[in-house]
Structures are given as C-alpha cells and as structure tokens.
Structure 1
Amino acid sequence: MPRGAFSAVGIAAALSLALTACSSSSGAPSGPASGTGAAGGALVVGVTSDPDTLFPWKATQFQAVNVLQNLYGTLTEFDKDLNVVPGLAESWETSDDGKKLTLKLRQGVTFADGSAFDSKDVKDSLDKIMDEKTAAVARASLSSVKSVEASGPDTVELELSGPDAALPANLATVNMAMLSSDDTEEKLNATPNGTGPFTLGKRVPSQSITLTRNDKYWGAEKPKLASVEFRVIPDESSIVSAMQSGNVQLAVFNDPLVAQTAEGGGTIQVAKTPQLNYHALQLNAQHGDLKDVNVRLAVQCAIDRKQVLDTAALGEGEVTGPITAPAFKSDPNKRPCPARDLTKAAEYLAKAGKSGGVTIKTIVSQGEYATSVNEAQNLKAQLAEAKITLDLEVLESGAFVDRWVAADFDAAVALNGGRPDPDGSYGRYFTSKGNLNKVAGYSSPELDELFQQGKATTDQAERKAIYEKVGAELENNAAWIWLFAGYTYTATTSGVQGFVPMASGSLQYLRTTSVG
C-alpha cells in the first residue's frame, strides 16, 4: 500500500483461496418475512446471548463486538480479504523514519446524534484508549504512540516511539472505535452514538437489540436494510427452528452438527468459512500449581488435540499453534509433545513434585459459542488419565467474560478472536506491559523484545521469522494450550442477498445485505 507502514497483501493472498469457496447469501425480516427488496427490509439475526456491553472500548464478547461494529466506525477497516483499507481516515502516510503517522480524515461524517466528526474526536478517543484508567482492552495496541495531535480539523498526527508495522491493522478493530469527545462510557452504554451504518433503535434486555439504518452513513454504499434485529435464542438448535418457521433469517453457527441439520431441511443455505479464531485451554501461569512450567507442560503433553476437535466439532477444522493468520501461521508440530504423550506428562509432573496429581479450577462459558462444554468435558476426560483434574465451572456468557477479564480463574476453556496481524492478536496478552497480561498470566523479557522487533520492521519475511520465535516461546513454556481453529457456518433463508462471511468472524457486511 502507498499509505502507511503495513500491507495485508500477504494475508489476503493466503486467505483468498479459502474464502472464494464461501457463499455470500444471508437471511430476511422480523417475524414472518416481509422484506422490501434491495431498497430495504427488516432482517432478524439469531444469537445465543445478549451483548454484555455497548461500550466498544471494553467489548470482548463476540455478540457485543458483532453489534458494535455495525454502530461505530474506525480509522481503518478490513475488506473481505482482510486487507487494511480506509475507514474514517481516507488516507494515511508514514514518515521516512517511521516515527510519525499522519491521518487524513473524511469530511462530512456525523455521529448518530447529528454532531460532526473531526480531528478533536480522534485525538480524544486515542488519548482515552491509551489512558490506563479507561481500561480499554486494546490499549497495548497503541503502545508505540507517544502523542496524538489534531493539526487541523481533518488531520491527525501520531508521534511514535519507533516504526510500528502493525498499527494500521490494529486501528481497524471496533475496540478502537472513534467516539464523540462529548460522550462518556455511562452514556454510551445506554445510547450508542457512532458513525457506523446503523444506529440503535430499541433494546429489550436479554431478548433483543434492534438497529436501524443510518441514512447519513458516510460510506459510498449506503445500508440497504431498514433494520437489523439481533434476537436472543438460547441455543443454536432453537435458532434453526426459528429459521424454519420464518422468524429468523440469518445466524452464524459454531456447531457443525447444527449447521448440517439446518442445511438438511433444504430451505436454509449454509456458507462454511475458515476462521482466524482459535480454541484454547488458557492457563493462568500466576495461579497455584500452574506457576510451575512443568505442570503446564504436563497439561500440554496429556492432550490429544485432534480428539478434542473430533469430539467437539466433528473434525471440522485443524489443530493449530498460537498464530492462525495465514501469513504468519504457527506450525503445531513444532511444540513439546505434538502428539499426546502420557509418559512425558508424568515426567513433567514428577519434576514439579506433583506425581500424585493436580487439580485445576477451570471456567467454561455457555452461550457464547456452541462447542465449549463438549470441549471442556473431553479435556477433563483426557487429563484425568494423567492425574490432572479439571474442576469445571460452567458460567453464562456475561459472567464468564467478567471472570475472564478479571483473571479470576486458574484455567479457561475459551474461543479467542484471531487477527490478521500477530501483534494485534498477542501484544496485549504476552508483553509485560500488555493491558491483558493479567489475563494471559505469562510474559518474559524475550517476548517483550520480540514483539518490539515485530512492530519495528515492515519486511514480511523478517516479521514471519520473529513471530515464529514468539510462537516457540509460548509453546515451549505452555503459556496456553492451543487446540484447534474451526469454521463458522453462516445460515440464511431465501431472499437474503449481499452478506459476506469473513475469516475474522466480523458481521460488518450487514451493511451490504438486503432482504428480497
């Protein structure tokens, strides 16, 4: 790209073959179908849980992110192939020494309340995200930013401590949403005020949240749908029934068995999309027996990842290492115990002085994604054979997120969002100053240096070599236990057109969807 320090061309090339196999159909209206063709229509999307927050800087739950990315805008965006493209910044330029990023903003953009978007809002947003007191989940992604200046109404200059190849991609996540400088977290949790393709229409807690078309949206292609309702239906099988009866027109499933059931009826189309998201048993290396690397390695060696994949997801996916982005992908065979080895697990427990076994309190979410409990039960059964007891605590989605953000767990069975750039995926977790390092429970001076090197170079081959070293340290110390990357299954009823599933799991293409 002529703008900026980072290009996702390598990522796009790697993903394009996989994505071209995905269909781009979607669903239809609220209640029994009554769309108005390409010019409008009302779409009902079935979801298994209610968003736990409407404040974009703190959103980690998938359902919250999916709603908020349709309400808010970001400085950069990803296209369908995960290239970094202009968003609220129509262009950007990096200085020759890599220490200044100048953003040229779009003019004529307004927030949902009608107020104008300008450089003051960008400076205020970035300054607040960087402020530790805000507790923004993407704060570490701005670690290279020393200062932000609004040098004109449509120009913002970021002074950097050094080159940051990952920054343009990191600015594209909804956790970096641009907010009005007049708004507060309390106000936005009640009434979102963004620059996105939709605005908040109505919310019925634990039942539904309805978005309405933003007729003043800045994009060249205006949203077609008059409204999008995210309707809470507790499990995926019930969502299929609602689709068959015409009450729901679009849903994204995690469970391949549910997807097969949906498609088998003949009235629902299903698009299968490979994901950057990954399933993991997250270990908190600051808690109890898990402080000992030998205990963590024992856990790693006692798990047959393929068995977890086959049991929980019918084998739909692939065993993965830490980094799932195709341009930087980890080799899962380059880890201690690439295959299950109970003898080795016993040796590690003996080194830790725990030959009699250990018990690990483990939290599991129910409702955020469909395979979580099955994964947990399989892991529990496998680890029991190595004298490692997973004491499972199953929580509803919101309670799980609260415990997870507070690092109130020894281990967590989790589906974590992958990103096109490894810094965005892991810089906030596994660096000593990362704002989610408390959740990750592991860092080291070596990792700090590697992540810094990864930011400082724009050469793709050099960056790949650096992140290979990052993956090796995470695996060799069993920071977490990476299991598998799977698919999402986008189900739509007839008449829905224009929706594009993405490998990031984003629902941003609701803005191009119509109901016929």
Structure 2
Amino acid sequence: MIRTTLLASTACLIGAAAAAQTLDVALDVPPAGLDPHLVTAFNSVLIASPAIYEGLTSIDNDLNVQPGLATDWTISEDGLTYTFTIVEGATFHDGSALTAEDVAASLRRVQSEDIASPLASRIDLVTGIEAVDDTTVELTLSAPFAPLLASLAGIAIVPAEFETDPEALQQTPVGTGPFRFEEWQPNGYISLTAFDGYRVEGQPALDEVRFHFVPESATAQAGLLSGDYDLLPTIDPATALMLEGQPDLNIQTTRDLAYTLIGMNASVPPFDQPEVRRAVNLLLNRQEIIDAALFGAGVPAGPLSPALTSWALDVSEFDCYTTDVDAATALLEEAGVETPVQVRMIVLPRQDARDIAQVAQQQLAAGGFELTLENQEIGTFVQDWRNGNFDMFVSANGGNVDPDLYFYRTFFGGGSTNVFQYADDELDAMLDEARSLTGTEARKEIYDEIQRKLACEGPVAHIAYADLSAAVAEGVSGYTISPIGRIADIATIDVAE
C-alpha cells in the first residue's frame, strides 16, 4: 500500500507542473491495457515500452541485444546459469528502489499460470530464479537456451508487490522507464510525464509525451500538418504516399519486422486438416493483396522477416505460394470438404487489416470459402483472439530478433500465444531441439525445416512484411524509426519550442 500512496501523491505534484516540451503522438486506436506482461496489442506495447517499462536487456535499432536494467551478465560454461548485475540507482516511478527481488518477482509473474502471461514461453526453460543479493539475480535453466538474452528484452520489470495482481497495472502502470504514467482520458489520450528520478543524467529530454487516439487517418494527417501532432509512428502506405513531399515533414521508412497474417483455428473443421490449410495458401495471391491493400509497399511474407538475414528463407522455396485454384480445389475434395464453407473471420481494427480481409475474401471465394467479416473494436478482437473464438482472423503480429521468440510461443503445443490450438509432435520436437542448441548454423538447419513446414501447412498464412513508415514533424529531433515498431529512443527525443 505504501507504493500506491506514493504514486498518487507524486502524480498530483507532477500534474501541477506545467510541461514545457511535449511530444504529441497520434495513434489509431487506444491501448488494450498497459500491463506489460499481459498486453499484446501494438499500441499497448508501443506506449508501455520503453517509455514506462524496461527489461534486463534491450534491443537496439540494429536488432542487437544491449544492456538494460542489467549492466552486465555472465553465463556458465554449460549454458545453464546466467548471473545478472542490476544497474545501480534505478528507481520505480513510485520512488522505491529497484532490487533483485523485483526482477525475480517479475519473472515469476510471467511464469505464473494464474497471471497467464502470453510471454510465458519466452522463459519456460528457466527453472530457478534467485535474488542472490540486492543487485544480483541468478537464473537456472533446464537446458541451454540461446535466445534468452533477447527474450529478456521483452519482459518488463515491475515492482514485486504486483507479482500476483493481474489487474492493477492495466490502468496504472509502474515501471523504471524515463516517463511515468500521468493520465488516461478514455478515447482521448494517455499522458506520460518525465520521471525526475530517472537514473540517466539529462534524460528524458521531453517533459511530456501525449498519445492521442485518432481513429481517422485523414484527421491524424490534418493534425500533423497543422502542428497539433508531432509524430505518427505507424502510418499505412496510403498515408505515407499522401504525406511524402509535404514541407516541414519527414517520412522515415524501414522494413517491418512485424507482418500481417491470416490465422486459422486448427481445432475446428475444416481448418483442422493440413490439406485445407495448404489449400488456403494456394488460393491466396499475396502480391495482389500487397498491391491492393498496401499500395505495393511490402513483400510477400514467409514465416520469418527478410530483415532477419541470418534466418529467413526466401518465399520462392514455398511451393504453396504460387496461386493455383485447381490444386486448392483438389486438396479440398481430397480432404472431404463440402463447399461452400461458411467462415467467420474477425478483423483487427486497422485499415491495412480491413483491406487485406476484403481482398482475401474475394480470393478465397474461388475455392468455395464464404467469409463473413467482423470488424471489431480492439478489446473485443483481443479477447476473441486469446480465447480462440474465431474460424479465421486477419491481424498483424510483432516480429522478434530470434526465430524461437516467435515460433515457440505461437506454434508449440500449449504455447502461450498458440491461439490456433495447433498441435504437431514433429514440430514440437524440432522447436525443442533448436532452442537448446548454441551454434547458429545448427539452429538454422532446423529453422529452415520449420519454415518450410509452417509456410504451407501451419495455422498461419503469412501475408506481407510491409514497409514500416513514420511521419515526423520537422521540429522533432532524435527520432529514428525502429523495425520492431517501438519508439526505441524515446528518452532522447526532443521537440523544438
């Protein structure tokens, strides 16, 4: 209770102060909560990290692992023990000091079945978590796990008192980041104010970051041009084209690590049959979808982004990526599927997802699939997605720097985001082997096999890796678009008065 009282009183003091420099950010939809161990929606993650929350490690814009709340670490020769040294002088936004116990409690919280974190698969090989002293945490693993350091970058550290609380952080987040939560106006904005106890001298450069919820793209564009907004961190290709060349405005573009997808519920007919999932892929024309829904700004997606040059296979290796209606029809007949097939498809509330759904609806109709599209608000979509309440869905998914961080939680039987209820013993065995190896070459051989298997018969039809674009007002300095879709340099961004 002491933490809560301090948080409220400190918020009043900060709220009374006038913010001198504010970064006004326009987002299309409000977040579906701000608990870093529970949220999966893009805007939830974008707001929460790294502005409010930090992990033991971090990922830079070049996709390399860097220190975070851990200044350094050692790894035992057998790869089973990791010892982390916690940074000195870090405090939570409620004024309490960060200790190793907070780190340990945060990791236990992610593993807790009661919390049911979608991040649980990232550290499921961690069998021992010990706060050795106030500044040292030791993790013991059941098997070597090469992606652990990258995994920990996505797990925020929160105060130990929230270990068993599944609700408090959703509306009132408490982290160690450069900005602290100030105010949430439903359907209006979320305000984060500079944390004066942040451990890095001179950071943050801003007094406030205000995330405005602007569902209409035209309204966001007009606000950017008029000076109401300083940054549109994720804009669709149509908006990028319209804003290109505007004075006092910069468009930054990179290859997105995230991707758009069509998901299939592998527990319900007819998608419980691999032949049907292959048929869906054969009916899709990804380039046509990219041209129509993304204005050509993207590339056909395999299971891994081409940005991961050390891991990703070229889509030319997947035989189901050549559109063939006759072959798809033959597969459906072989599987005993009677057409037409009535399908309920839920759609993420993003313009690119809506457009992809409409094109896919037409393409899949050629094989006898009659899709009913449900355009849902974000809370309903996330709930249906997590509960497997769909036949198919169209969405977008954030990418990761290591294949295990996507594949294991998504496709392993019982994985923490295996909403498809997909199960394949052969795939599970490959995933277990790949994550336990330490040599990149040996891991790549297995992940090549996994990509070939998932591309055509998995529960996901990967659609596109888009060109990720952001629109930045000229007065904003220090911002660089990140392929992981976050405002990675939020602590050093400045806005000219």
TM-score (norm 1): 0.89
**Runs of 5+ unmatched residues, structure 1:** 1-34
Alpha-carbon distance, 1:355 to partner? 4.8
Q: 2:245 aligned with 1:245, yes or no?
A: no
User: Map of 1:355-370 to 2, 5 A cutoff?
Assistant: 355-366=338-349, 369-370=350-351
Alpha-carbon distance, 1:41 to partner? 1.4
Structure 2 partner of 1:329: 312
Structure 2 partner of 1:14: none
Between 349-358 and 292-301, report the one with greater CA deviation. Answer: 349-358
SS at match of 1:380: helix
Between 355-364 and 146-155, report the one with greater CA deviation. Answer: 355-364
Q: Which has the higher contact order (CA 8 A, sep 6+)?
A: 1
Structure 2 partner of 1:451: 431
Q: Is the Cα contact below 8 Å between 2:339 and 2:369 reproduced in 1?
A: no
Matches of 2:202 and 2:413, distance apart in 1: 42
Q: 2:42 aligned with 1:62, yes or no?
A: yes
CA RMSD after TM alignment:
1.5
The total of aligned residue pairs comes to: 474
Between 218-227 and 284-293, report the one with greater CA deviation. Answer: 218-227
Counterpart selection for 2:161 from 173, 182, 188: 182
Matches of 2:190 and 2:150, distance apart in 1: 29
Q: 2:338 aligned with 1:350, yes or no?
A: no
Paired amino acid for 1:336: D
Counterpart selection for 2:176 from 195, 209, 212: 195
Alpha-carbon distance, 1:393 to partner? 0.9
Runs of 4+ residues deviating >4 angstroms: none
Q: Is the Cα contact below 8 Å between 1:349 and 1:357 reproduced in 2?
A: no
SS at match of 1:291: coil
Matches of 1:211 and 1:484, distance apart in 2: 33
SS at match of 2:114: helix
Paired amino acid for 1:58: L
Alpha-carbon distance, 1:131 to partner? 1.2
Paired amino acid for 1:343: D
Alpha-carbon distance, 1:223 to partner? 1.0
Change beyond 3 A, Cα 1:87–1:449:
same
Q: 2:492 aligned with 1:509, yes or no?
A: no
Matches of 2:115 and 2:449, distance apart in 1: 32
Q: 2:86 aligned with 1:86, yes or no?
A: no
Q: Deviations over 1:76-127 (max 9, x none)?
A: 0011211101001111111001111111111211000000111111111111
Paired amino acid for 1:280: L
Structure 2 partner of 1:466: 446
Q: 2:45 aligned with 1:45, yes or no?
A: no
SS at match of 1:337: helix
Alpha-carbon distance, 1:469 to partner? 1.2
Paired amino acid for 1:179: V
Counterpart selection for 2:275 from 275, 294, 298: 294
Q: Deviations over 1:329-366 (max 9, x none)?
A: 13212223221001101101111112533222110022
Matches of 2:139 and 2:190, distance apart in 1: 36
SS at match of 2:94: coil
Q: Is the Cα contact below 8 Å between 2:115 and 2:166 reproduced in 1?
A: no
Between 441-450 and 296-305, report the one with greater CA deviation. Answer: 441-450
Matches of 1:418 and 1:382, distance apart in 2: 26
Q: 2:158 aligned with 1:158, yes or no?
A: no
Q: Deviations over 1:21-42 (max 9, x none)?
A: xxxxxxxxxxxxxx99xxx611
Change beyond 3 A, Cα 1:313–1:245:
same
Counterpart selection for 2:414 from 429, 433, 456: 433
Indicate the percent of aligned positions where both proteins have the same amino acid.
32
Q: Deviations over 1:53-73 (max 9, x none)?
A: 011101101111011101011
Q: 2:386 aligned with 1:405, yes or no?
A: yes
SS at match of 1:508: coil
Counterpart selection for 1:172 from 153, 160, 165: 153
**Runs of 5+ unmatched residues, structure 2:** 1-17
SS at match of 2:167: helix
Matches of 2:387 and 2:156, distance apart in 1: 23
Structure 2 partner of 1:256: 237
Alpha-carbon distance, 1:221 to partner? 5.6
Matches of 1:260 and 1:407, distance apart in 2: 36
Matches of 1:342 and 1:355, distance apart in 2: 16
Alpha-carbon distance, 1:247 to partner? 0.6
User: Map of 1:92-171 to 2, 5 A cutoff?
Assistant: 92-171=73-152
Q: 2:482 aligned with 1:499, yes or no?
A: no
TM-score (norm 2): 0.93
Alpha-carbon distance, 1:220 to partner? 5.7
Matches of 1:355 and 1:52, distance apart in 2: 38
Structure 1 partner of 2:461: 481
Q: Is the Cα contact below 8 Å between 1:140 and 1:433 reproduced in 2?
A: no
Q: Deviations over 1:393-421 (max 9, x none)?
A: 11112211111111111111011111111
Change beyond 3 A, Cα 1:259–1:148:
same
Matches of 1:199 and 1:71, distance apart in 2: 6
